[in-house]
């Protein structure tokens, strides 16, 4: 025993050196407790985990879209359930997150007919009358095709990269979208929404604190959160608010140069187009300039294009893939080193099927061995949900003229577009006439990101409460009206400026009027 | 310009020092290229990514279940499509992965009726006749309940922890399963299968090379893969094959002590019960002993209980939660420091709904602030697929006597159990009479993990081909019969021993006879 105790003592203390203190501090048992307890029958409890025992990268990660304000909203929602009259409002308006169907956007009927049949294939063998009353012929046809693609049941694991036949449909869609620039099924990776794709890309390409990833500011906080989880460095480039949140390629190149000077390797560049939270859409020329920098420094471009269907009248979306192909044709060999990952999702657009977790990623220009790494990583989580994969097929290949579903499907899509257009304008007009709010006209996506010109008294009181001034505004808005938004501090903004992000998804216009009333009262209270 | 060039040079070279070489080697642009290109209009391409640019942890991760043998099987499947007569067999038998519905296991009708309605709620407003012909009344009732729980549409994001009402159903199930030991909805986290839960737990608790996680050997390779991704240390404890793959708590404590001596903190202990790949089931006493070690050293217990429904006649499954509660009642205070994460999934059991990605995790005994970290991490990927959550509700709360679906549901479950029982015995008996194969009688799960006593000539030839001998056997089996299995080297085994894992899911018995023929010929060829 003695010799054992001595061994342990010496080895542990030598071991200590190699161990980072916090990891040991809280629960590493001491030598004496070991030797005491080793053969005792009664158990002396060791302490439980504390935050000291948690991976620092996870602790660092923040995700404001479901952060403090939305969590407060959940508390208030519960309070309303228990005591409906205890608050100055009767319900929570969730304008913090792009979740259309939570806000009563009706799913597209064609999608749901097909998914309903995929979940219950026996129906396809039922007596035609009953089936035909409930499902349209093209829905039945599509369900049969998809069932054979997935091998008979959506309950079986698919290939980790996604069902072959669905990847072919996606490739056809991209080829059409990009005026014949060919897309290949082998380059398509079906994913559980775009978030999963971002997580794959960053965990593969982030090697630690010396890896830098260029992200727009303001940004969708998934990017800073994923970078924190991967212990890598965000390299912010600011969007020019005064020029309708446009991108400045010269600033991007400067950020690249500064990073290299600091010994940080700029590895990826994130582009969100249409922009979240800004609602801006990139011009063709801006995209060309971004590729110029990417080609020059060998930086992977991550194109978050999940809002490509959310484009308002008068604006035009250019896919990065298409612009890249044009550059490659015009300047032979000069852009052939570009590596582009383009992301799409079934959660946005007119689909709005957030809970179904469908999406895809197209990898362009990556070497074979890198794509094999993507495949291996995907295989560790087995496969994306198969009904979500099917939904991607439906999104990229909707009913065509002559199909039984066509007319209704067109009508439903138009109604959703019009409703979004109308709500966006209504909210934009309201902001435009309010004191202390400056808002850019949105071109796409689902959000407005107005600038708050907050009185000094607000900033003072916020500091006193150890809050960001825009968080203070959002909290007041929530607690007085039930309207839940996200402060700009969650997305990033030029220091000293304040913003908030709101969706324009909530139905009706009443909530906008409530907001207007609140805002006036707020400024009357705090005006300098 | 000159001054710029000089600045860059000096700063970069100083930067170099702080950057890890491999990261730089391939794509960090040289000073001259920077200064040359800085203001030039033509673009000089930087090199593409190579494996040197990939996160080493991702490169290290291996996942044999979809590894080299299964990938070879995919190639052969494609070859059969192109030229059916080009191989000595007509189809691939996928015995490498527990994917029941790929192998024609019929999904439970009740599940699919409800999911079908959830995807197309309009049906619920349809004329009763048509609806009633296609759906049973209790399916309609359940669909209505779940729809109201999820707020009207499975297309909306849910709470990141999962739908409240479904977590309540899960808690009720656990309380009943554990003879009244109460489970709380706040402790339930709905996840996209058990894999997502494992990934959450390990990314939160792994802090780097000094974090150790005890895993059984042989193990399900998800654990070694996730540990590689988190750059943390597997601490293997060997299951005793000669005692039907039972667990040795004294060995576990020795592994803990050795780790501490090396300065590695044993943080988690993984228990897979029923065992994958071994098919063994833990005795109540073994579980008690494991908790004794866990309590003594403050180690989190991860209970992978996804096969809890896959228990053969004559064996009994003890849930770790129930055994823990008994210990806590018997020895006051001595086990109150235990932190247990128990995992379940809709992919296994009689459900076999792998492609639907449903599962849950119950966190027992964790401090509030640790559970908040789980919640934050879950919120970054927004929410688990909502139909998968609904499926969890159906799995843990099946039709009851008196419900219209009850009789059929019972029959379907019985048929699946009997089929699995029968196939397992058939395969076990076959192995038992074969030369050079030694197999333990399975008690549960979906696999057999026979030991291969391979002739010296096989080992020699395998070494010559730079393969593991068991991989050599599995490759020969695949290429001669189309039967796809996974070599023991993918799960871990005592050095110098060789195994393979096969499911007993493929229907029919013909494939077993083919295997038997192959095995005899193989041994005739290589027998010493």
Please write the tens of the pLDDT for every residue from A413-463.
999 999 988 899 999 999 999 999 999 988 999 999 999 999 999 999 999
Residue ranges making up the domain that contains A303 = 137-396
- Residue A330's Cβ-count burial label (10 Å; 0-12, 13-18, 19+) is exposed
- With bands split at pLDDT 50, 70 and 90, how would you rate the model's confidence at A509? confident
CA A209, chain centre distance (Å) = 23
Task: Report the mean per-residue pLDDT for chain A.
Answer: 89
CA distance B366 to B373: 11
Query: A85 with A192, same domain?
Result: no
B2-18 helix and B31-38 helix, angle to the nearest 10 degrees: 140
> CA dist B32 to A371, B4, B35, B37, Å?
31, 11, 5, 8
Asked if residue A361 has pLDDT above 70, the reply is yes
Contacts (Cβ under 8 Å, ≥6 apart) of A93? A481, A482, A483, A484, A506, A511
Q: Does B101 touch chain A (CB under 8 A)?
A: yes
pLDDT at position B44 is 61
Any domain includes A50: no
Asked if residue A305 has pLDDT above 70, the reply is yes
Q: What is the DSSP letter of B311?
A: B
Query: B248 with B279, same domain?
Result: yes
Nearest to A385 among B260, B357, B369 (CB): B357
Given a contact cutoff of 8 angstroms between Cβ atoms, the answer to whether B23 and A211 are in contact is: yes
CB contact under 8 A, A207 and B104: no
Q: Which of B454, B421, B419, B344 is nearest to B389 (CA)?
A: B344
Nearest to B126 among A134, A207, A296 (CB): A134
The model's pLDDT over B196-208, given as tens digits with 9 standing for 90+, comes to 999 999 999 999 9
Given a contact cutoff of 8 angstroms between Cβ atoms, the answer to whether A307 and A446 are in contact is: yes
Query: A494 with A375, same domain?
Result: no
Cβ-based contacts of B381 with chain A (< 8 Å): 192-193, 195-196, 199
CA A168, chain centre distance (Å) = 25
- With bands split at pLDDT 50, 70 and 90, how would you rate the model's confidence at B333? confident
For residues B508-520, average pLDDT: 94
Stretch 156-215 of chain A: residues touching chain B, C-beta under 8 Å = 156-160, 192-193, 195-196, 199, 203-208, 210-211
Nearest to B102 among A37, A115, A156 (CB): A156
Q: Does B99 touch chain A (CB under 8 A)?
A: yes
Q: Hey, what are A298's tokens?
A: 């060998």
Phi–psi pair at B219, nearest 5 degrees: -135, 165
Q: Does A7 touch chain B (CB under 8 A)?
A: yes
Q: Which of A262 and B19 is assigned the larger pLDDT? A: A262
- Compute how many other C-beta atoms are within 10 angstroms of the C-beta atom of residue A366: 18
Nearest to B153 among A20, A101, A118 (CB): A101
Query: A413 with A391, same domain?
Result: no
Residue A291: CATH number of its domain: 3.40.640.10
Nearest to A355 among B154, B230, B336 (CB): B154
CA distance B466 to A314: 63
CB contact under 8 A, A54 and B113: no
Any domain includes B324: yes
CA distance A68 to A478: 11
- With bands split at pLDDT 50, 70 and 90, how would you rate the model's confidence at A42? low
Q: Does A99 touch chain B (CB under 8 A)?
A: yes
CA distance A307 to A343: 10
CA distance B170 to B183: 8
Cβ-based contacts of A370 with chain B (< 8 Å): 49-51, 54
Task: Report the mean per-residue pLDDT for chain B.
Answer: 89
CB contact under 8 A, A48 and B267: no
CA distance A133 to A97: 37
Containing H/E element for A524? Answer: helix A510-526
Asked if residue B422 has pLDDT above 60, the reply is yes
Q: Hey, what are B8's tokens?
A: 């860059």
Measure in Å the smallest separation between the Cα of B458 and chain A Cα atoms: 29
Cβ-based contacts of B446 with chain A (< 8 Å): none
Any domain includes B42: no
Q: Does A43 touch chain B (CB under 8 A)?
A: yes
Q: Does A77 touch chain B (CB under 8 A)?
A: no
Q: Closest-CA residue in chain B for A377?
A: B58
CB contact under 8 A, A133 and B126: yes
Q: Does A478 touch chain B (CB under 8 A)?
A: no
Q: Which of B269, B310, B267, B263 is nearest to B286 (CA)?
A: B269
CB contact under 8 A, A267 and B356: no
pLDDT at position A132 is 83
Nearest to B116 among A14, A119, A384 (CB): A119
Stretch 423-442 of chain B: residues touching chain A, C-beta under 8 Å = none
pLDDT at position A375 is 92
For residues B167-182, average pLDDT: 98
User: In angstroms, what is the C-alpha Rg of chain B?
Assistant: 26
Any domain includes A4: no
Pairing of strands A265-272, A211-217: parallel
Cβ-based contacts of B51 with chain A (< 8 Å): 369-370, 373
Of A374, A396, A418, the residue that ends a domain is: A396
For residues A146-164, average pLDDT: 95
> CA dist A437 to A194, A517, B332, Å?
32, 14, 61
Asked if residue B1 has pLDDT above 90, the reply is no
Nearest to B23 among A45, A152, A211 (CB): A211
> Sign of the CA dihedral A5, A7, A10, A13?
negative
Q: Does A132 touch chain B (CB under 8 A)?
A: no
Query: A337 with A238, same domain?
Result: yes
Q: Does A58 touch chain B (CB under 8 A)?
A: yes
For residues B414-441, average pLDDT: 92
Any domain includes A290: yes
Cβ-based contacts of A386 with chain B (< 8 Å): 355-356
Nearest to B50 among A18, A51, A367 (CB): A367
- What is the 3 state secondary structure string of A220-268? CCHHHHHHHHCCCEEEEEECEHHHCCECCHHHHHHHHHHHHHCCCEEEE
Alpha-carbon dihedral B371, B376, B382, B388, rounded to 10 degrees: -10
Q: Hey, what are B365's tokens?
A: 């005994």
Query: B181 with B254, same domain?
Result: yes
CB contact under 8 A, B19 and A101: no
Nearest to A19 among B23, B210, B354 (CB): B210
Query: B421 with B390, same domain?
Result: no
Alpha-carbon dihedral A272, A273, A276, A277, rounded to 10 degrees: 110
Any domain includes B30: no
Stretch 216-255 of chain B: residues touching chain A, C-beta under 8 Å = 222, 225-226, 229-230, 253
Pairing of strands B340-345, B300-304: parallel
A342: three-class secondary structure by DSSP:
strand
Query: A452 with A500, same domain?
Result: yes
The model's pLDDT over A215-245, given as tens digits with 9 standing for 90+, comes to 999 999 999 999 999 999 999 999 999 999 9
CA A315, chain centre distance (Å) = 22
CA distance B124 to B145: 12
Cβ-based contacts of B302 with chain A (< 8 Å): none
The model's pLDDT over A364-397, given as tens digits with 9 standing for 90+, comes to 999 999 999 999 999 988 899 999 999 999 999 9
* Unique residue bearing structure tokens 């009726």: B113
CA distance B442 to B445: 8
- What is the 3 state secondary structure string of B175-196? HHHCCCCCCCHHHEEEECHHHH
Nearest to A376 among B44, B63, B104 (CB): B63
Any domain includes B228: yes
Any domain includes A13: no
Helices and strands per DSSP (H, E), number in chain B:
20, 14
Which of B20, B29, B43, B337 is the best substitution to test chain A (most A C-beta atoms within 10 A)? B43
Of B396, B423, B444, the residue that ends a domain is: B396
Q: Does B3 touch chain A (CB under 8 A)?
A: no
Q: Which of A130 and A95 is assigned the larger pLDDT? A: A95
pLDDT at position B478 is 97
Residue B447: CATH number of its domain: 3.90.1150.10
Query: B199 with B283, same domain?
Result: yes
Of A396, A417, A451, the residue that ends a domain is: A396
Q: What is the tally of structural domains in chain A?
A: 2
Contacts (Cβ under 8 Å, ≥6 apart) of B252? B214, B237, B269, B289, B290, B293
Query: B360 with B444, same domain?
Result: no
Measure in Å the smallest separation between the Cα of B487 and chain A Cα atoms: 17
Q: Which of A249, A248, A219 is nearest to A234 (CA)?
A: A219
- With bands split at pLDDT 50, 70 and 90, how would you rate the model's confidence at A6? very low
The model's pLDDT over A264-297, given as tens digits with 9 standing for 90+, comes to 999 999 999 999 999 999 999 999 999 999 999 9
Stretch 262-321 of chain B: residues touching chain A, C-beta under 8 Å = 262-265, 267, 292, 295-298, 300
Q: Which of B230 and B15 is assigned the larger pLDDT? A: B230
Query: B378 with B498, same domain?
Result: no
pLDDT at position B218 is 94
Given a contact cutoff of 8 angstroms between Cβ atoms, the answer to whether B170 and A110 are in contact is: no
What ipTM, to 2 d.p.?
0.90
Given a contact cutoff of 8 angstroms between Cβ atoms, the answer to whether A46 and A27 are in contact is: yes
Q: What is the DSSP letter of B240?
A: B
CB contact under 8 A, B222 and A380: yes
Alpha-carbon dihedral A421, A424, A428, A431, rounded to 10 degrees: 160
- With bands split at pLDDT 50, 70 and 90, how would you rate the model's confidence at B66? confident
Measure in Å the smallest separation between the Cα of A328 and chain B Cα atoms: 11
The model's pLDDT over B377-399, given as tens digits with 9 standing for 90+, comes to 999 888 999 999 999 999 999 99
CB contact under 8 A, B205 and A55: yes
Query: A377 with A249, same domain?
Result: yes
CA distance A262 to A210: 9
pLDDT at position B64 is 75
B1: three-class secondary structure by DSSP:
coil
């Amino acid at each position: 025993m003695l010799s054992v105790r001595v061994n342990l003592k010496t080895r542990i203390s030598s071991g200590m050196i190699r161990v980072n203190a916090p990891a040991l501090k809280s629960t590493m048992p001491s030598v004496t407790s070991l030797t005491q307890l080793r053969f005792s029958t009664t158990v002396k409890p060791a302490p439980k985990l504390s935050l000291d025992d948690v991976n620092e990268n996870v602790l660092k990660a923040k995700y404001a879209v479901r952060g403090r304000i939305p969590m407060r909203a959940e508390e208030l929602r519960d309070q309303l359930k228990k005591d409906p009259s205890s608050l100055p409002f009767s319900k929570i308006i969730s304008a913090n997150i792009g979740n259309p169907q939570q806000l009563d956007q009706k799913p597209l009927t064609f999608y749901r007919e097909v998914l309903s049949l995929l979940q219950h294939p026996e129906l396809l063998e039922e007596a035609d009358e009953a089936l035909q009353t409930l499902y349209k012929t093209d829905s039945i046809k599509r369900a049969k095709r998809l069932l054979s693609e997935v091998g008979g049941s959506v309950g079986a694991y698919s290939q980790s990269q996604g069902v072959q036949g669905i990847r072919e449909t996606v490739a056809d869609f991209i080829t059409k979208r990009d005026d014949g620039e060919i897309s290949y099924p082998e380059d398509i990776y079906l994913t559980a929404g775009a978030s999963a794709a971002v997580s794959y890309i960053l965990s593969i390409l982030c090697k630690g604190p010396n890896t830098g990833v260029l992200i727009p500011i303001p940004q969708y906080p998934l990017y800073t959160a994923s970078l924190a989880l991967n212990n890598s460095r965000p390299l912010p480039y600011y969007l020019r608010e005064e020029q309708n949140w446009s991108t400045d390629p010269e600033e991007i190149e400067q950020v690249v140069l500064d990073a290299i000077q600091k010994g940080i390797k700029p590895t990826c560049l994130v582009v969100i187009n249409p922009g979240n939270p800004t609602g801006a859409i990139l011009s063709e020329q801006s995209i060309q300039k971004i590729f110029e920098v990417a080609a020059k420094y060998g930086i992977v471009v991550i194109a978050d294009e999940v809002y490509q269907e959310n484009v308002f009248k008068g604006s035009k979306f250019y896919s990065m893939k298409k612009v890249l192909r044009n550059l490659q044709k015009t300047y032979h060999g000069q852009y052939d080193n570009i590596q582009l990952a383009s992301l799409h999702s079934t959660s946005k657009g007119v689909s709005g099927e957030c809970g179904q977790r469908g999406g895809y990623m197209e990898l362009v220009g990556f070497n074979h061995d890198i794509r094999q790494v993507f495949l291996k990583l995907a295989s560790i989580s087995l496969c994306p949900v198969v009904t979500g994969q099917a939904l991607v097929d439906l999104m990229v290949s909707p009913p065509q003229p002559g199909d039984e579903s066509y007319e209704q499907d067109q009508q439903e899509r138009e109604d959703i577009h019009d409703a979004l257009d109308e709500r966006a304008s209504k909210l934009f007009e309201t902001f435009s006439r309010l004191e202390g709010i400056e808002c850019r006209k949105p071109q796409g996506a689902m959000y407005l990101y107005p600038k708050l010109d907050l009185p000094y008294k607000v900033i003072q009181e916020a500091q006193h409460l150890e809050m960001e001034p825009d968080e203070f505004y959002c909290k007041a808005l929530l607690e007085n009206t039930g309207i839940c938004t996200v402060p700009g501090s969650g997305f990033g903004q030029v220091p000293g400026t304040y913003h908030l992000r709101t969706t324009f998804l909530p139905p009706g216009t009443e909530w906008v009027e409530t907001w207007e009333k609140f805002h006036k009262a707020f400024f009357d209270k705090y005006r300098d």
